[in-house]
Homo-oligomer: A and B are copies of this chain.
Amino acid sequence: MTRSRPSDSASPERVGLWLVGARGAISTCVAHGLSGLRQGLLDSTGLVTARGPLAELPLLDCGQLVLGGWDVCRRPLSQSASELADMRVLSGPLVAAAAGDLAAFEQRLRAGILDPSDGEPADLDPQAASTSRLTPRQKVARLLADLNQFQRDSGLARVVVVHVASTEIARAPAADWSDLASFERALDDGRPQPASVLYAYAAISGGFSFVNFTPNVGSAVPALQELARSRGVAHCGNDGKTGETLVKTALAPLFVARNLKVLAWQGYNMLGNRDGEVLADPLHRAGKLRSKSDALRAILEDPGLHHQVAIDFVPSLRDWKTAWDFVHFEGFLGAQMSLQFTWQGSDSALAAPLVIDLVRLTELAQRRGEAGVMEHTASFFKSPIAGGSHDFHQQFRTLIEYAQRRG
C-alpha cells in the first residue's frame, strides 16, 4: 500500500467508492480503515492486496479513494462508529482521528431504494421509503443521477459501486433475467425487481463497475452479465467469504486430497449484528444458507453429502460472529474420526479489508479494460459469479497467477 510509484508523484487520479448500505457496519469499518491507513494509524494487516505478487500490481493507493453511497436508513455514521467502538471492533483513538473523514463521507450519502421484501426499520429514511412508489425505470434513473453527480462533483476518474447492504430474501431465477432484452422489457413493463438488481443495473448501464459483497442477486444473472460485457464494465460477486465458509473451503480440499470420506459436515453459525437480525428470518436466511452449503458439496464432489448449516441470531455477540463446525469422516479400515473447529471473529473487520481489496482489483480491471466477470476474484466470494472451483487454495492460486501474468 505504501509503495510510491512515479505516476503517483504528479497528481494521482481520484477514484470513487460508492457503497450500497453506506451507514452499516462494513461501510463504517471501510471508512475508518481507509482513514486510518492514510493517517498511518493502521498497518495493512488483513489486506490481501498488500502482500506478495499482488502488492506488485499497479493498484490504486488508498489515498486516491473518495467515499460516498446509498442507504435506506438515517442512522448517523457517528452512531455506527460509536456502536463499533463499544463492541470493540474500532478503537477509540481511531474513531476520534477519523471523525473528519467520516463527516465528509456522510455529506456524500444519498437515499437508496427499498427492496420489496424489506420491512420498515425504525430509522427508515423517508426519502428511501418514498421510492416504493416509483417504477423500476424511475428508480434506476434516480440511482444513475446520484452516481453521475458523485463522479462530476468529486472529479472522479472512475467509480466502483460496492453492494454491502442487508441480505434480501432468496429468489429463484426469473425468466426476466435470462437475457438483457427480456430484462429491459421487464423494466419497461414495470415489473418489480430486487433492489440489488436495480443497483447493479444502474451502475453497469452507467459504465460504473460493480462489486456484490452480499448473497443478493445483483449482477450475477445472465441479463446483467450481458450488459456488463456490452458496456465494457468489470464486475464481480457474490457474497463475501469471510468466516466459516472461508475455513470450510480451505479445509475441505484436505479431505479430498487424502481420500477421506466425509460422512457429515455440520456448521453452526451465531451472530448478533444487523445482518444476523435480518438472517433470523428464514426467507432471508435461505440465500445465505444455499451459498454456504453448495460450496462444500462442490469441493467434496458429493452431491448427497450430509451437510447442514444453521445461522442463529445471538444478539449479545453483536459483531463477533462465532461458528462451530463438526466434520465426521471415515478413514482407512473403516475407522471413524472427527475434526471440529470454532471460529471467533469480527464480521465487519473481516469484511472491510476485502471490500478495499476488491475495489482496488476492480478499479484496475476497469482501467485496463477487462470487461465482464472478474474470474480472478473467486477467492473473495462464497458464490463466485463465474463459477469454477470453490477450493480456496485453487481460487487463490488463480489470483496469484493473474498478478504474475498481469503485474
A residues engaging B (CB < 8 A)?
29, 32-33, 36, 42, 44-48, 50-51, 88-92, 94, 246-247, 250-251, 253-254, 256-261, 263-264, 266, 268, 270, 306, 308, 310, 312, 314-317, 322, 324, 326, 328, 330-346, 349-350, 352-353, 379, 392-393, 396
Q: Which residues of B contact A251 (CB under 8 A)?
A: 247, 250-251
- Are A328 and B316 within 8 A (Cβ)? yes
Extra contacts besides A264-B316, A331-B346 (13): CB < 8 Å? A44-B259, A46-B258, A46-B331, A51-B259, A89-B333, A90-B333, A250-B251, A250-B254, A257-B392, A259-B353, A316-B328, A333-B346, A339-B342
Give chain B residues whose Cβ lies under 8 Å from the Cβ of A250. Answer: 250-251, 253-254
Point out the residue from B246, B253, B260, B316 that lies within 8 Å of A45, measured CB to CB: B260
Q: Which residue of B lies closest to A265 (CB)?
A: B314
Within 8 Å by CB of A247, from B261, B306, B339, B352, lies: B339
* C-alpha spacing A253/B32, complex, angstroms: 28
Expressed in whole angstroms, the Cα–Cα distance for A46 and B349 within the complex equals 30
* Cβ of A326 to closest chain B Cβ, rounded Å: 6
Whether the pair B328, A345 counts as a contact (CB closer than 8 A) is no
Question: What are 13 A-B contacts with C-beta separation under 8 Å?
Answer: A46-B331, A48-B259, A50-B259, A246-B258, A254-B392, A259-B353, A266-B268, A266-B314, A268-B268, A308-B314, A316-B336, A324-B324, A341-B341
Q: Is the CB of A331 within 8 A of B350?
A: yes
Q: In the assembled complex, how far is the CB of residue A216 from the closest CB belonging to chain B, in whole angstroms? A: 23
- CB pair A331 B315 closer than 8 Å: no
Chain B positions within 8 Å of A335 at CB level: 89, 345-346, 349-350
Q: Are B334 and A42 in contact (CB under 8 A)?
A: yes
Instruction: Output the least CB separation between A87 and chain B (Å).
Output: 9
Q: Compute how far the CA of A29 lies from the CA of B334 in the bound complex, rounded to whole angstroms.
A: 12
Contact B94 A45, beta carbon cutoff 8 Å: no
Which residues of B are found within 8 Å of A253, using beta-carbon distances? 250, 393
Q: Is the CB of A308 within 8 A of B312?
A: yes
Q: Are A333 and B392 in contact (CB under 8 A)?
A: no
Leading 9 A-B pairs by shortest Cβ distance: A46-B332, A263-B316, A335-B349, A337-B345, A332-B353, A393-B393, A341-B341, A250-B254, A46-B331
Q: Chain B's nearest CB lies how many Å from the CB of A254?
A: 4
Residues of B close to A316: CB separation below 8 A? 263-264, 306, 328, 336
Tell me whether A29 and B333 are in contact (CB under 8 A): yes
Who on chain B is nearest to A29 by CB?
B333
CB distance from A267 to the nearest CB of B (A): 10
| Contacts known (A266-B270, A270-B326); A48 close to B257, Cβ less than 8 A | yes
Least CB separation from A50: chain B residue: B259
User: Which of A258, A330, A331, A345 has the most CB atoms of chain B within a 10 A radius of its CB?
Assistant: A258
Chain B residues with CB under 8 A of A270: 264, 266, 326
Using Cβ atoms and an 8 Å threshold, which residues of chain B touch A42?
A: 332-334
In the complex, what's the smallest C-beta–C-beta distance from A54 to chain B, in angstroms?
9
Residue of B nearest to A250 (CB): B254
Partner of A48, one of B89, B258, B315, B317: B258
